[in-house]
Amino acid sequence: MVRSVLLLELAVLLVLAWGSSRTGADEGRMMDSPTVVLQKLDAAITALEKAQDVPMNLTDCDKGLAAAVAGVNEAQLLMSSDELHLARHKVLAAKYNNAKCLQLLRRSTSVPYSTKTVVYNLTLQADQELEEIVAHLPIASQEAYNTTSWSATTDFNKALTKHLIDSSQDHQELVEYGTPRSTCAATVVDGTKCQYAECAKGRGLVSCAIGFAKGVVGGYYGISYTVTRDDDVPENPPAGSLRHGLNLAKDHAGGVWITFARDMVIELRGMMWVHSHTTVDGRGVNVTLQKHSLVVSGARQVILANFGINTVRGGDTVHIFADSSKVWVDHLTSFGGDLGLVSVVQGSTDVTISNCKLQNHNFNMLLGASDHDEQDRNMRVSVYRNHFLDSMQRMPHCRWGWCHVANNLYTNWGYYAIGARVKARVRTENNVFMPSRATEVTPWHPGAAASSFDMTARIESRGDLLMNGSTYHQFLLATHDVKPPYPSAEFPPLLGADRVYRLVQACAGQQTPDTVSACQSAST
C-alpha cells in the first residue's frame, strides 16, 4: 500500500516535470517513457521482495537482494525530486547487487534445485525490469528536451541526456552486471571473427554481440535444446522440431538455447514465432529455413545466428515488430522475400543486423514501416558488415529513429541503396559502394525540385568508399553531426573502407564448416 501511494505521487511529479508545457496528443506521447519507468520500478521491487521471501540460507545472496530493494526504494525517492541522474546510479547499484545474487545461485551446491529455480527466475525478472528502467530514462529525458519549452527542464534534460548517452563508465557497469562476463579478449571481439573463436564456443557467443544489441543474452540462462528433425507441424509441434524448441521459451524464464544436430532444410508450414530469451544457434552445421517468415513479436533478448532463410511468400524473411528489443541477427543468408528481408518496425529498438548476406529482387531492409508510426522515434538499429547485393532498394530505408550503417558492402543495386524519411537520423560509415546499374546511393530524381522530397531526414556519410561513379546527393545530407547514441564504450569497431571488401566477401552470411576457414583468414 505504501509503495502504491509512493508510485502515485511519483507519477504526478514526473508528469508535471516532463509534461507541464504540453496538452492533448503531445502530453499523452510524453507520458509514455515516464509511465514505463514507474511500471518497471514497481515490477522490479515486487520480484525482489518475492525472492527475499524464499528461505535460501545463502547469506551473501540475501544481503544482495536486501541491498537491491533498498537501491530501488532510494531511486524512487530521488526520481520524485527530479534527481534522475542520481536515481539512475541507484538503479545500476541495484542491478549490481541483484547480479551478485544471480552469480551466487549459479555456483551454489547447497541450495535445493527447486528453491534455486524460483529465486533465480525472480532475480532474473528483476534484472530485466531494472535494465529497461535504465534504457527508458534517457528516452524520457530526450523526449522532454526535444519538445518542451520550459527552459529549466530543457537545460536539465539536455545535460542528463548527454550524461546518459556519453558516459562510458556508467554503461560499462550496466553491461558488466547485466550480462555474462566475456571470456574473449577485446582484440577478438571485433564484430566478425569472435563468433568462431575458442572463447565464444557455445553460449560464449553472447560476448560477440556489438552495436545497439550489445549486451543481449538471448537464451543464455535457459535450457538447452537440440533440433533433431526437419519437419514442421504448426498445430502440435513434435519434440525435436525447431518449432517445439521455440515454444519452450514461453515456459522457462531463462528461455532456450537452440542448436542443430545435423545439416537440414526445414520447410516451414506457417510463420514461426520467436519468443523472449531465445537463441537459435546454427553454427557448425548448414541449416536453411524456407517458405515462411521468422517473426519476433513483442519479444526481447533474442539471438538469431548462422543459418539461411529464403523463398518466403507474402512477407519478410525476418520480421521484428511490436516493441521487440535487444535482438541480434547475425550471419544469416537471406533472399527471396516477397515483401523484403529483415524488417524492424512498430516500436522495436536496440537491434543489430550484422555479417549477413542479403539479396532480394526488390525491397531489402526496412527500419520503420510507416510515416505515421511515431513509436519508432526511439528506434536504434546497427547495420554492420553485411553484403547487400542484387537488390533494387532499401538497404536499409530508415524512418524516425537512429540507424548506424557501417562497414557494409553494396553491389549491383537497381534504384538506390540507402533511404530515409520522417526525421530519421542516419550515419553511413566506412561502407563500400560498387554499383553496376544505378549509381545513386540515396534516392534521386533528376530535374525534380528538392521541395518535393521529405527534407526532415538527416543522412551523414563518413569515410564511405564511392566507386564506379557512385554518388551521394546533397538533399539528404545532414547539415550537422548525426552521432549514433551509443555509450562510447559500445561504439562498434570499424575497419577502414579499404579493408571492408575482402572481409565482407568472405564472412557475410551463413558460415558452414566448409567456409569458416576462409572467413577466419580474411579476419586476420
Q: How confident is the model over 440-480, as pLDDT tens digits?
A: 998 866 656 656 677 788 899 999 999 999 998 755 666 66
Biggest CA–CA distance in the chain, Å, is 76
pLDDT at 15: 36
Q: How far apart are CA 463 and CA 406, in angstroms?
A: 10
pLDDT at 14: 42
Q: What percent of the chain has pLDDT over 90?
A: 49
Question: pTM for this one?
Answer: 0.69
Backbone angles phi, psi at 443, to 5 degrees: -65, 135
pLDDT at 384: 97
pLDDT at 379: 96
pLDDT at 386: 98
Among candidate residues 88, 300, 385, 394, the one labeled active-site is 394
Instruction: Tell me the mean pLDDT in the region 379-389.
Output: 97
CA-wise closest residue to 410 among 477, 353, 344, 358? 358
Q: pLDDT of 501-520, one tens digit each?
A: 999 999 999 999 888 888 88
State the CATH class of domain 2-178: mainly alpha
Q: How far apart are CA 46 and CA 524, in angstroms?
A: 49
Show the cell assigned to 454: 521529405
CB atoms within 10 A of CB 107: 8
Q: Residue 416 pLDDT more than 80?
A: yes
pLDDT at 36: 63
Residue with cell 549486451: 215
Instruction: Tell me the mean pLDDT in the region 75-91.
Output: 68
Does the active-site annotation cover 394? yes
Contacts of 227 (CB under 8 A, 6+ apart): 240, 241, 242, 245, 258, 259, 260, 261, 264, 287
Ranges for all domains in the chain classified under CATH 1.20.140: 2-178
CATH number of the domain at 210-523, out of 3.60.20.10, 1.20.1250.20, 3.30.1330.60, 2.160.20.10? 2.160.20.10
